[in-house]
Structure formats: structure tokens, C-alpha cells
Amino acid sequence: MQFYLDSDNKTLIAETNEWAAANPGCLSFLLELAFQESET
């Protein structure tokens, strides 16, 4: 999933977000990092 987040591909990032929503707690720290990086 980290590969998806690092890809800058909107489709893969959306898929990761959907997976994270279905599996709460599994990627919370990765998603936080992804959102921090996209804000800068």
C-alpha cells in the first residue's frame, strides 16, 4: 500500500484510501504521511 501512496497516481491513492477505510487502523500512519507530503 505504501507503494500505491508513493506512486502519485490518483487511482492507486484512491484505492489505498478505500482499502484503509475498510481496514481501519492498518494504514493510519501511512495515510497521515501521504497527506502531509501532498500539502507541501
> Rounded to whole angstroms, how far apart are CA atoms 16 and 10?
10
Which pLDDT score, from 0 to 100, does residue 9 have? 92
Which pLDDT score, from 0 to 100, does residue 40 have? 47
Query: Comparing C-alpha atoms, which of 11, 13, 15, 19 is closest to residue 37?
Result: 13
Answer for the pair 19, 1: CB distance below 8 angstroms, yes or no: yes
Answer for the pair 27, 20: CB distance below 8 angstroms, yes or no: yes
Domain ranges in the chain are 2-39
pTM to 2 decimal places = 0.56
pLDDT in tens, 11-24: 998 998 888 888 87
pLDDT value at 6 more than 70: yes
Instruction: Give percent above pLDDT 90 in the chain.
Output: 10
**CA 37 to mean position of chain CA atoms:** 11
